[in-house]
Structures are given as C-alpha cells and as structure tokens.
C-alpha cells in the first residue's frame, strides 16, 4: 500500500476562527484558490451546530464576483467590499465565488484579516469571526487511477456479490459521483453529473454532522454493470463543486466460487498509518462491516475496514502501531494474517530544492532488517526530479540501519509529493 513521504505546499496557513455559540462552536474559513482554467475563486466555509441562515463578509478591497457555487435556496449579493449570503437553514455552508480573470485573489488576499459575520436561526444579531484568509493549492484535475489514492476499493470484486469502498481522509467533505466512460464525454452527461453533485452537496449541508460513512455500499451500482469492462469511473467534486478528479478503479474480477470460510493470507507487509489487505473467504460476514465489526490487530486493537469484497478486505493500520511483527484477526472468522508493520523515517532539505539545488533524500525503514523492495513514485515531476526516474523500485540496504537514498533536484517552487510503498504482489485469493 502506498504512503506519501511529504508534500510541501507554498500556501498561507488557514486560520480558523471560532466562537462559542448556543450548544456548540461556530467555525469559519475564508480561502483563495486558483481554478483549473487559471481564474481565481474565493471560498467560504461556515459550520454551526445551530444551523446558519446568513453570512456576511467584508473584504479589504473590492473584487467583482460571480457565484460559482451557491447552495440551492441561498442568495448572493455584493455591495462594494461587502458580500452577503442569505438562505435556508443549513448546518454547513460552502460557497464558491469566482473572480474576474484579471483579479489576482491568490496574490492579494492570503494573510489578510477579514471579518466574517454569521447569523443563526432564532437570534437577531450576527456572530463575528476574526478570520485570516488562507490559500489552497491550485486545482489540478487528475484522471488516472495511479494518482487516485483518495478512494479505496478492494483489489478483487465478484459480480453480484457485496462490494464496499471508502474515501480517504481529505476526500470526505465533497461528493463522489459514479459515471461510465462511454458517455462521460457527452455534454448532457457532464451537466447531469454536475447537477447530481450539487444536489448531494445541498442535501449534505442540511444534515447535522457527522455525515461521513465509514463504508459505502457499491453493490447495487455494480449490479447495473453488464460487463466488467464497463465498471464505472469515479468523479469527485469537492465541497465547493469543483470537479477535481476522475478515475477508473484498478480492480480484478473473480468469479464466485465455493471456498472455505476464513482468512487464508494477505499482504505480508504494510506501513503504519496506511492500509493492509486480508484475503480469504468471507461470505455473509461482509454485512457486519457496515456495523462495528471486530477486526483486530494483535487481538486487541480495533482497525477500521476500508474496503471489502467476498475474497478481500482492506483495513487501515493505525499510526501508533509499533514497527515489527503483528497479526490481524476477525471475530467469528477462522484464521489470522501474520503481518509486519513498517515505518519510515525520512529526511530531505526542502530549502535546497526551492533554490533549484540537488539534495539527498534518505529513507530509513523501521520494523524489518531485511532488504525490502521499495517502490518510489515522484508525483510532481514538474517540480522536482528524483535520481533513477519518476517511478522506480530500489532495494533497501537491509541490516540494523535499513536505508535507501536518492538525490532529488528542485525544478521550480511549488508543492511536491513523493510516494513510497513496498513492491509486493497484490493481495488476492486467486
């Protein structure tokens, strides 16, 4: 399973202001972001346990905005530097206001203090939040599964059988829309997907937190797929209705088969904080995963199921697990999976990269003194170059100090990401 080494974002820190409200806390954010088309957006996000029906924002200078995403039932108006939004009661409000192409919000707004005033139902006044404008990285639409580490599917699926998946942290505030490649380029289809995403975001705003499911049941959606080659792609729209990725799950189809109930194997190694996979024959036990099923590490520590099918179950390994040998078991399921948990200590001089210099990246593996084939992927080749190529497999040294090193050169200032994972056979029972 893949782990990200580091991601440096050249962005201002987002300061979230909050104030005690009736029965809870009101939180608010004001952010600037460059869109895929090069234009800039002002992003507002407000949450209140007592709902919200009015938001006003005073900016340090005047900008001309057009509503990019304003939830259904809400109205946007602007008077000089003041932006006003009023509408139906919601627990969370996400608004995207798009600026004119020549108005550089990303350059001019981050770090500036603004006043965000929030109205809650049943109160006559407005709660004032002192907020510093932050900045998000530029929207970069992605359309390949290798970059889609944001949604977890089981490595195997069986047509007509239960199928569960879950979004990764950071991809739970927006909405996921399934689509089919054959019609995805159709204008009508694209418009329908946007409307569906907007409707889901509107529904989500009216629901009291928490609204995030641990697992999403894809069984009915997959039952509509006549041919495995038509497996739907996944489209993710963030909470401001920006479509930021689409990809087709890299899963293998296996036929239904008679098998012995229990755990038969799985991934021999996994990094702490990431995912591990059990394989076997799980049958009707899959329905328990929507509840509080007891999948345990070392028989005591509960782990979170992330994806599941009749032959494979993906679970998240907690960050705090000590490196070394462990085992996974599932209450009511025979057998267990012996697994070695790894951690990485990494170092890199980001200042040298920003200067366009070369610096040494050193990764030390904790939890095993064996030489481990480590897969390294440079996700941002336009920003940095990694010695040996953007995708490579290199063996660690083995021994008490189990390390691998590579030279990294800065190409341009910006965010950069290097992923690493154990290069091992994929989890699968057949």
Run of H or E including 108:
helix 105-108
Q: What percent of the chain is modeled with pLDDT above 70? A: 83
Which of 302, 322, 337 terminates a domain? The answer is 337
Whether residue 225 lies inside any domain: the answer is yes
The DSSP bridge pattern shows strands 40-58 and 24-34 to be: antiparallel
The DSSP bridge pattern shows strands 312-316 and 304-308 to be: antiparallel
User: Is 239 in contact with 173 (CB distance < 8 Å)?
Assistant: yes
**Same domain, residue pair 22 and 125:** yes
Going by C-beta distance under 8 Å and a sequence separation of 6 or more, which residues neighbour residue 61?
Answer: 81, 108
**Same domain, residue pair 26 and 125:** yes
Whether residue 284 lies inside any domain: the answer is yes
Whether residue 346 lies inside any domain: the answer is no
Q: Give the domain range for residue 292.
A: 273-337
Whether residue 303 lies inside any domain: the answer is yes
The DSSP bridge pattern shows strands 233-237 and 243-247 to be: antiparallel
Task: Give the CATH number for residue 23.
Answer: 2.60.40
Q: How many domains does the chain have?
A: 3
Read off the tokens for 381.
């080749």
Q: What percent of the chain is modeled with pLDDT above 90? A: 43
Model pLDDT, residue 16: 32
Which of 253, 284, 307 terminates a domain? The answer is 253
pLDDT value at 402 more than 60:
yes
Whether residue 32 lies inside any domain: the answer is yes
CA distance readout (Å), 116 to 45, 126, 128: 10, 9, 6
pLDDT value at 83 more than 90:
yes
Read off the tokens for 279.
């394989």
The DSSP bridge pattern shows strands 156-157 and 252-253 to be: parallel
Model pLDDT, residue 336: 95
Model pLDDT, residue 259: 84
**Same domain, residue pair 124 and 176:** no
Whether residue 307 lies inside any domain: the answer is yes
**Same domain, residue pair 197 and 217:** yes
* C-alpha closest to that of 323 among 341, 303, 301, 346: 341
pLDDT interval class at 122 (50, 70, 90): confident
Rg of the chain (C-alpha set): 24
**Same domain, residue pair 23 and 126:** yes
**Same domain, residue pair 216 and 296:** no
Model pLDDT, residue 403: 93
For 313-369, how does the pLDDT look when each residue is reduced to its tens digit (9 = 90+)?
999 899 899 999 999 999 889 999 999 999 988 878 767 676 678 888 889 999 999
pLDDT value at 210 more than 80:
no
Which of 100, 135, 170 terminates a domain? The answer is 135
pLDDT interval class at 50 (50, 70, 90): confident
Q: What is the mean pLDDT of residues 283-302?
A: 81
CA distance readout (Å), 96 to 67, 137, 167, 192, 201: 6, 15, 23, 20, 13
**Same domain, residue pair 43 and 96:** yes
CA distance readout (Å), 285 to 383, 404, 428: 46, 41, 18
Model pLDDT, residue 15: 27
Whether residue 410 lies inside any domain: the answer is no
**Same domain, residue pair 246 and 316:** no
Model pLDDT, residue 40: 96
pLDDT value at 183 more than 50:
no
Tell me the C-alpha distance between 379 and 384, whole Å.
9
**Same domain, residue pair 23 and 73:** yes
DSSP alpha helix (H) spans, 136-252: 187-205, 219-223
For 249-263, how does the pLDDT look when each residue is reduced to its tens digit (9 = 90+)?
777 878 887 888 899
DSSP collapsed to 3 states, 322-353: CCEEEEEEECCEEEEEEEEEEEEEEECCHHHH
For 141-172, how does the pLDDT look when each residue is reduced to its tens digit (9 = 90+)?
877 655 556 678 888 888 778 888 888 777 88
pLDDT value at 24 more than 70:
no
Residue 69 CB: number of other CB atoms within 10 A? 21
pLDDT value at 127 more than 50:
yes
What mean pLDDT, rounded, does the chain reach? 82
pLDDT value at 2 more than 50:
no
User: Is 224 in contact with 286 (CB distance < 8 Å)?
Assistant: no
**Same domain, residue pair 100 and 198:** no
For 214-271, how does the pLDDT look when each residue is reduced to its tens digit (9 = 90+)?
677 877 766 665 554 556 678 889 999 999 888 777 778 788 878 888 999 999 999 9
Tell me the C-alpha distance between 200 and 196, whole Å.
6
**Same domain, residue pair 77 and 171:** no
Whether residue 217 lies inside any domain: the answer is yes
DSSP code, position 210? P
Residue 233 CA from chain centroid, whole number? 16
């Amino acid at each position: 399973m893949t782990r990200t080494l580091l991601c440096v974002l050249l962005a201002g820190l987002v300061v979230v202001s909050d104030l005690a409200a009736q029965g809870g806390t009101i939180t608010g954010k004001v952010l600037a972001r460059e869109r895929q088309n090069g234009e800039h957006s002002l992003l507002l996000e407000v949450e209140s346990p007592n709902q919200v029906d009015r938001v006003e924002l005073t900016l340090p200078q005047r900008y001309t905005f057009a509503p990019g995403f304003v939830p259904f039932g809400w109205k946007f108006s602007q008077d000089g530097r003041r932006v006003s939004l009023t509408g139906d009661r919601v627990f969370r409000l996400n608004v995207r206001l798009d600026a004119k192409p020549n108005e550089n919000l990303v350059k001019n707004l981050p770090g500036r203090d603004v006043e965000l005033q929030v109205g809650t139902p049943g109160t006559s006044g407005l709660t004032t939040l002192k907020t510093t404008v932050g900045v998000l990285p530029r929207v970069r639409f992605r359309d390949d599964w290798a970059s889609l580490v944001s949604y977890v599917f089981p490595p195997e699926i069986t047509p007509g059988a239960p199928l569960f998946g879950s979004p990764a942290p950071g991809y739970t505030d927006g909405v996921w829309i399934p689509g089919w490649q054959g019609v995805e380029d159709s204008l009508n289809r694209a418009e329908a997907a946007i409307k569906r995403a907007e409707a889901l975001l509107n529904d989500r705003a009216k629901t009291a937190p928490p609204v995030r499911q641990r697992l999403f049941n894809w069984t009915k959606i997959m039952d509509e797929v006549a041919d495995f080659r038509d497996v739907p792609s996944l489209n993710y729209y963030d909470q401001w209705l920006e479509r930021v990725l689409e990809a087709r799950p890299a899963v293998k189809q296996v036929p239904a088969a008679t098998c012995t109930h229990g755990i038969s194997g799985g991934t021999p190694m996994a990094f702490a904080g990431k995912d591990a996979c059990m394989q076997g024959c799980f049958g009707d036990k899959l329905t328990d995963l929507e509840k509080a099923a007891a999948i345990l590490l070392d028989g005591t520590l509960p782990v979170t199921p992330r994806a599941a099918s009749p032959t494979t179950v993906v679970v998240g390994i907690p960050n705090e697990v000590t490196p070394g040998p462990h085992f996974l078991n599932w209450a009511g399921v025979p057998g267990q999976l012996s697994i070695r948990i790894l951690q990485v200590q990494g170092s890199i001089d980001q200042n040298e990269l920003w200067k366009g210099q070369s610096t040494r990246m050193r990764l030390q593996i904790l939890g095993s003194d064996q030489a481990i084939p480590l897969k390294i992927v440079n996700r941002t080749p336009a920003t940095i170059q990694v010695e040996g190529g953007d995708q490579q497999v290199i063996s660690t040294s083995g021994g008490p100090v189990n390390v691998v090193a590579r030279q990294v050169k800065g190409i341009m200032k910006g965010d950069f990401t290097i992923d690493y994972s154990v290069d091992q056979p994929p989890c699968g029972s057949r």
